[in-house]
Homo-oligomer: A and B are copies of this chain.
Amino acid sequence: MLSKRQEQLLKIIVEDYIKTARPVSSKSICDIMNCSSATIRSEMSSLEDLGLLEKTHISSGRIPSEKGYRYYVDHIMVPKELTGEEILRLQQIVSNKSLVVNDAIARSMEIITELTSYTAVVLGKQSSNNLIQKIEVIPVDDNNLVAIIVTDKGHVEHKNVYIEGIVSMNDIKQTVDLINKLIVGTSLDDISDVLEFEVKPRIADYVEQHEVLYNAFYNAFNEFTNNHSVFRSGTKNILMQPEFNDADKIRDIISKFEDKEIVESIEEKDNGINIYIGSENNFDDDVTIIKTKYTINGEEGTIALIGPKRMEYDRVITLLNYIKENIGK
């Protein structure tokens, strides 16, 4: 258990380091704590023994360790209220009901990346367990049509379908009707099976170009299941942070952003606002990721804010909370 003074010291060091990105010296704290630098040094020493502080080299000032940030976030930090300007900017988005839903969350995150110096990643719902509600087909020309799929969670996607050769509109309609009858309520995961073992044998009887149609739809639906939407905003922000003042480190981060698998692993399991400091996340030991789920019109997704470990936790949490609470209206 930390003493009152130790907590105060940890708070000062974490917040100073968050602001300046420079190790905090004992002398610089004298005024605030009303004691000599030697006293502070001995307290620093015990905080270091507890694993809450670190030195960059033997005679340097102290910086918070991962455990130090964790203690700060769990026990010391008080969420910061939003400023009038911040509320104003966010309200413009949130209150704009005419905004198309997918864009609303994207725009919100753009605002947040402007208000902070961090990078936002928005992951659309991993839709494999969505159930299909409806399928519609719109003909474009003789060889192309558009298939629209609507899931029970209100998620919508469209795909262009190319049909080889000449297929009658009637055959298409019959196939679509059958698909609709058989496939509604199926999860996106199971679509392939239903198409292959139920739709295919049935249309074979009365649809002339059944082979062609089956292939076309099979390919189109396969892409629905594999499609995760990823939106990123303010990529450059995190690179501007002084801890990433190194070409190789920047390359490393950019590569990770570009790697679909790594970005998708950001997906969030729990509700609430979750903080993953350094090695607590599986993205990069030098960053903190704050994630939360959002629900908007029944569609779920994850938003994540990625910044250096010395993140302005108190402010970011409030910002994300605002989005989470207000975006669903």
A positions within 8 Å CB-CB of B: 97-103, 133-134, 136, 138, 140-141, 143-144, 146, 148, 150, 154, 156-162, 164, 215-216, 218-220, 223, 234-236, 239-240, 244-247, 250-251, 254-255, 258, 297-298
A141 touches B158 (CB 8 A): no
Q: Which of chain B's residues have a CB closer than 8 A to the CB of A251?
A: 236, 239-240, 250
23 pairs across A/B with beta carbons < 8 Å?
A: A97-B162, A98-B161, A99-B219, A100-B162, A100-B219, A101-B162, A103-B223, A133-B140, A134-B138, A138-B148, A140-B156, A144-B297, A148-B158, A154-B160, A156-B160, A157-B158, A236-B251, A236-B258, A240-B251, A247-B250, A250-B250, A250-B251, A250-B254
Q: Which of chain B's residues have a CB closer than 8 A to the CB of A148?
A: 138, 146, 148, 158
Shortest distance in angstroms between A201's beta carbon and chain B's nearest beta carbon? Answer: 20
Copies in the assembly, this chain: 2
Q: Which of A143, A150, A219 has the most CB of B within 10 A?
A: A150
Q: Which of chain B's residues have a CB closer than 8 A to the CB of A133?
A: 140
Q: Which of chain B's residues have a CB closer than 8 A to the CB of A298?
A: 141
A162 touches B98 (CB 8 A): yes
A164 touches B97 (CB 8 A): yes
A154 touches B144 (CB 8 A): yes
Q: Which of chain B's residues have a CB closer than 8 A to the CB of A164?
A: 97
Q: Which of chain B's residues have a CB closer than 8 A to the CB of A136?
A: 136, 138
B235 touches A258 (CB 8 A): yes
> Residue A160 contacts which of B100, B215, B223 (CB distance < 8 angstroms)?
B100
Q: Which of chain B's residues have a CB closer than 8 A to the CB of A157?
A: 158
B162 touches A297 (CB 8 A): yes
B158 touches A158 (CB 8 A): yes
A102 touches B160 (CB 8 A): yes
Q: Which of chain B's residues have a CB closer than 8 A to the CB of A216?
A: 98
Shortest distance in angstroms between A233's beta carbon and chain B's nearest beta carbon? Answer: 9
Q: A100-B160, A235-B258 are in contact. List 4 more A-B contacts (CB 8 A).
A: A100-B219, A136-B138, A236-B258, A240-B251
B154 touches A215 (CB 8 A): no
A220 touches B160 (CB 8 A): no
Shortest distance in angstroms between A212's beta carbon and chain B's nearest beta carbon? Answer: 10
In the complex, A159→B101 CA distance in Å?
8
In the complex, A235→B263 CA distance in Å?
15
The 6 A-B pairs at the shortest CB distance, nearest first, are namely: A98-B219, A100-B160, A101-B160, A146-B156, A236-B255, A236-B254
Q: Return the chain B residue nearest A227 by Cβ.
A: B103
Q: Which of chain B's residues have a CB closer than 8 A to the CB of A98?
A: 161-162, 215-216, 218-220
Shortest distance in angstroms between A38's beta carbon and chain B's nearest beta carbon? Answer: 38
Q: Which of chain B's residues have a CB closer than 8 A to the CB of A144?
A: 101, 154, 297
B258 touches A100 (CB 8 A): no
Q: Which of chain B's residues have a CB closer than 8 A to the CB of A97?
A: 162, 164
In the complex, A246→B159 CA distance in Å?
42
Shortest distance in angstroms between A175's beta carbon and chain B's nearest beta carbon? Answer: 15
Q: Return the chain B residue nearest A329 by Cβ.
A: B162
> Residue A247 contacts which of B101, B141, B246 (CB distance < 8 angstroms)?
B246
Q: Which of chain B's residues have a CB closer than 8 A to the CB of A160?
A: 100-102, 154, 156, 297
